[in-house]
Structure 1
Amino acid sequence: MALRKISDDELTSGGVKSTFTIDIPQDPASQFPDTLTAICGWGWRFSCLVEAASTSVSPRLLDSNSNTIPWRRITVLFHPGIIRDAEYGRITFRTQVDNLLLLEDALFYTEINLPDNSPRRVNPPPGTPLGVYMRRNDVTGSAKVSISVGFRSELGISLVRPLDSRVEAALAETIQGEEAVDVKFYAYTRVGPSYVARPRPMFAKMALLKGHSEGLDTYLAGICGKGFSESRLVDLDAHLLEEERFMEYDYMSDSDLDEEDEEDSERPPAESAEAVSSTVAAPTPRRMGNVVVVKSHAYKTWNALLYYLYTKKIVFRTSDSPSEPGSRIPTCSAKSMYKLADAFGLTELKALALESVRSQLSPENIVREAFSSFTSVQ
């Protein structure tokens, strides 16, 4: 069996995630047959076909001395099993891999429709390819694949998620008197002719933001170290940000920033008024923590990031559509979130944002988007 499950299925906000290692035979000429895994989710299985690369039909890899580097061709497939006849409609698959390279021009994102009406006489029945990958023989480290199976929200499937270990630890700390928040972020909401303005505050618990990526952990570690003028502990409720405008924002076409008009520039900053009122009614004992001014990403983007890190839920706006009435989930621009996720190495979030950007491309906007400021900075 090429796929070996390394953990229990993980229930996420949108479906079921299964993670496997891929067994690769030592002999480059040998291969593993397309055998099925144990049952995953509520009835489906996966398989993985490991083959030697055929030089007659596959790319040749050469080292610095023009010697051929052998590699394997790995195909990951989905088998619906007992849900084959279910009236689920569209099912989505998001695939992440370690120590593998995408070989064919395919996305990490795949869709199928159920029920499956393909011929049933084949044994075992053919699977749906979820990706074709390359594994060089000179690469070390285990190859892994994580596959997330998602369902349409209209089905009303309610998935019970286990409590995240970070959330569990943070809740346990509150029992001992620890604060539920210990960091305050400010990010800008408006854009003027050559500046961004009107920062708004957000609060978070540092422990819930760590452990998602090395890039984000490095950024958070800097909050309490050198490089952040605000790194000293302050009273989070009484803190008032004096800087109302920032002139060096590098993404002035950020669609998560609202345009500032003349009335906005003349009106007293609403956020400062909020901060003043909170100073008057500051609780005792005070909530002490770090304050960070975010100067490279908009308030809407950062707010959506914090929500995603807490809940693994993300909603992207389509075009200029407003937020869904009554929804507690903050919305943001997929382009803006892609930029932020890329900066912090949040691979899954970056892929979700990219897929949203792709889904909004059309013959009418493809040329404009190809030459936009977003693509020029990638």
Structure 2
Amino acid sequence: MNKIEPDQFTGSLSALNIKSTLQIPSQNSNSTISSETCGLGWTFELHGSQAGISSSYYGGYSYLQGPYKLSMAFGSLSQTTTYQLASVECELQVPNYGTVTHLSKKDTLPGPSLYIGDIAQYTVEDYGNATLTCTVILRPLPAATPSKLVAERISAVTLGSLDGQNFVDTKVYAYTRRSSGGAINPRPIFIHSTIIDQYGCKPLSLLFGKAEGLLSEDALLDLHRLPESQETLAALDYRDDSDLEDEDTVDAPEYPLQSLFDWNAASKKSKKKFTNAASSAAHDPTLPNILRDVPHSEILDAVGQCQNALRYGRIKVLSNGAYRTWHAIIRYIYTGSIEFAPIRSTKRPRPTPEACSPKSVYRIADEYGMDTLKQMAYKEIIGGITAENVIDELFSYFAHMYPAVHDHGMKVLLEKKSDPTVRGAIMERSNSHGEGTMEPHEKETMNKIMAQLI
């Protein structure tokens, strides 16, 4: 069954309506026919007799032979924990006749398919092309409550410090800039793995791990030093991340990878000072000599050397997102809030240095199953797609990777197709990007647009 028109997305994230209109082929030798992929990845299936699904013509009357069983196949969507199926409404339409089959039930998409109902045998005068219109209504599942609230997670770590536990046990490096050779200039984020673990997202817990049990000298890490081999990432995991600064950005800050201070030498020097002081005090054990005044700078120097030399922890280097993106996500885990920047095609400035790309957040949230954060990023993305930038967004690699974003862009395009801005952008794209210079995903997008507009 082929689509007569693109899927229509209406409603909002709180109740998303997706309408698919399909044409039933008049002759088909298969006992089961499937539709094109619809909505967020499902298909509709008609199951007929072993003789196949067909229509026939006798004495001026046409017969749509049946009965047929109508069902939905969800494929990989059966594993989602983001949406529940609120209802499905299907309507079979033929010339001069029509019938409706309704099904209303809630389902968290646990299985590979869902039976909708039977379409009985019909006798239809002047039978033409039958169409099947199915409207699927999705509602988001209630957001999973983290195992512990933000304040409770932070308090647990803070109170643990009273017993000598470190505030930081993991150091995460993410890259800040993009060069011709890959990602460069990594910058650290200091975290406590317990806070991440208690957020309740298992993939993130596995990513950052729990830095406990690192009590041997073999596990000692210099949390102020990144291995030289990881100062540059040869290949970006994401080709078009607006949270990465370009190498020629004038005001991009420099972040030193390591201190120039020689901690080993400093530790030895500090130890030598302590030994000399102890030796001197042994010859004059009076209270004034034991409790002597020490300059404040000397105390800070000694404490800093000891802390840095004896810190236990774990270092992680992230290649699948920019520093700004990961910093915002970790801050969201710590505080429950996040600030998004406008999508780049709007040409609006970033409101603050901390504001991150919603596309970059969407990609990582999708990868690690952070459904609530993914929905927040999706709402920000589609809210920024207008007649002025819909063509840029449709041809982006991001839209190619994520069908939900692409389909929303197509919806905006069809709604605004008579807008001079949209028509001009299509012509400009066609003239300036010939087929020979287009990326494969751009050619695919252009073909879809032309099929809808011609």
- Sort the TM-score into its range (normalised by shorter chain): 0.5 to 0.7
> Cα deviation per residue 1:307-363 (whole Å; 9 max; x = unaligned)?
0010011000114523438xxxx3210011111111111000111011111111110
Describe how 1:257-296 pairs up with structure 2 within 5 A. Answer: 257-261=244-248, 270-272=255-257, 275-277=259-261, 279=263, 282-285=304-307, 286-296=310-320
Match of 2:280 in 1: none
Q: Per-residue CA shift, 1:279-327, capped at 9, x if unaligned?
A: 56644233321001111110100110110010011000114523438xx
- Shift of residue 212, structure 1, vs aligned partner: 3.0
Q: Provide the identity percentage.
A: 27
Partner of 2:238: 251
| C-alpha distance in structure 1 between counterparts of 2:83 and 2:393, whole Å | 32
Q: Distance in 2 between matches of 1:63 and 1:217?
A: 44
- Structure 2 CA distance for aligned equivalents of residues 133 and 165 of structure 1: 40
**What are the equivalent positions in structure 2 for 1:166-245 lying under 5 Å apart?**
166-210=153-197, 211-221=199-209, 232-236=219-223, 238-242=224-228, 243-245=230-232
**Alpha-carbon distance between aligned partners in 2 of 1:324 and 1:316, rounded to the nearest angstrom:** 9
Aligned residues: 242
**Structure 1 residue 221: Cα displacement:** 3.3
Distance 1:373 1:214 in 2: 28
Alpha-carbon separation, structure 2, partners of 1:321 and 1:220: 32
Q: Give the secondary structure class of the aligned counterpart of 2:386.
A: coil
How is 1:1-378 mapped onto 2 (pairs within 5 angstroms)?
A: 100-101=84-85, 103=87, 134-136=105-107, 146=142, 164-210=151-197, 211-221=199-209, 232-236=219-223, 238-242=224-228, 243-261=230-248, 270-272=255-257, 275-277=259-261, 279=263, 282-285=304-307, 286-318=310-342, 319=344, 320-324=348-352, 330-378=354-402
CA contact (8 A) 2:365 2:373 kept: yes
Q: Is the 8 A contact 1:224 1:290 kept in 2?
A: no
Output the amino acid matched with 2:358. A
CA distance in 1, matches of 2:320, 2:222: 24
User: Does the CA-based 8 Å contact 1:255-1:333 persist in structure 2?
Assistant: yes
Query: Do 1:316 and 1:333's aligned partners in 2 also have CA atoms closer than 8 Å?
Result: yes
CA gap 1:62/1:316 in 2 versus in 1, 3 angstroms: same
Unaligned runs of 5+ in 2: 1-42, 50-67, 73-79, 90-102, 112-138, 267-300, 403-454
Question: Who is 2:293 aligned against?
Answer: none
AA of the residue aligned to 2:334? Y
- Alignment check: 8 A CA contact 1:184 1:289 kept: yes
**Unaligned residue ranges in structure 1 (runs of 5+):** 1-58, 71-95, 106-131, 149-161, 226-230
One-letter identity of the residue aligned with 1:272: L
By how many angstroms is 1:193 displaced?
Answer: 2.0
Q: Who is 1:158 aligned against?
A: none
Query: Do the aligned residues in 2 keep the contact of 1:189 with 1:197 (CA within 8 Å)?
Result: yes
Question: AA paired with 1:324?
Answer: T
In structure 2, give the amino acid aligned to 1:217: S
1:241·1:272 contact (CA, 8 Å) conserved in 2? no
Q: 1:224 touches 1:232 (CA, 8 Å); kept in 2?
A: no
Q: Is the 8 A contact 2:193 2:210 kept in 1?
A: no
Counterpart of 1:239 in structure 2: which amino acid?
A: R
Q: Which has the higher helix share?
A: 2
Secondary structure of the residue that 1:354 maps to in structure 2? helix
1:188·1:298 contact (CA, 8 Å) conserved in 2? Answer: yes
SS of the equivalent of 1:215 reads helix
CA contact 1:69–1:137 (8 Å) conserved in 2: no
Contact 1:300 1:332 in 2 (8 A): yes
Considering only aligned residues, what root-mean-square deviation do their CA atoms show, in Å?
Answer: 4.2
